[in-house]
Amino acid sequence: MWQRVQTLYLGIATVLIASMFFCNFAVIPGNEGSESTIGYGEYLPYLLFLLMLVTANVIALGTFKARMLQMRICILASILLLAFQIWLGVDMVRNREEMTFSFTAVFPAIAMILDLMAARNIFLDEAMVRAASHLRGARKRHGRQDGLR
């Protein structure tokens, strides 16, 4: 399972997204130096997005034997990560004067890039395996083992 680089990409993306459950999204400065924090798990839409994203990445990690399914799940997770990143960006623009935002707000963008890189590598691996099996089949049909005439 951990033999390919795409599994590393998926693992890092999963850890980044899962770490957001324990991180704060923003800090709201209050009166007289007090401040309150908002976590990703405190806002229901963020929590649902995080649950979907972690689930998709864990499923992608677990389907390493079915490459095409794994690639499709990676692409789906990338689309969800893009939507989540846009939502975070809109919330940041709307509330930029009232809140100070955490650096963890870019984790979805980083995870999206990692998921897309994993999908690309999965596609390349599958293409290489299919080409090798096609070449082996062609050699057997023509009665050649070494590919020479």
- Give the torsion sign (CA, 137, 142, 143, 145): negative
Q: What are phi and psi of 126, to 5 degrees?
A: -65, -40
Domains, the chain, in order of start with CATH, read: 5-142 (1.20.140)
Q: How big is the CA angle at 54 (ends 12 and 96), to the nearest 5 degrees?
A: 85
pLDDT by residue (tens digit) across 73-95? Answer: 999 999 999 999 999 999 889 98
Asked whether 42 and 49 are in contact (CB, 8 A), the reply is: no
Q: Is the pLDDT of residue 109 over 80?
A: yes
pLDDT by residue (tens digit) across 120-129? Answer: 999 998 888 8
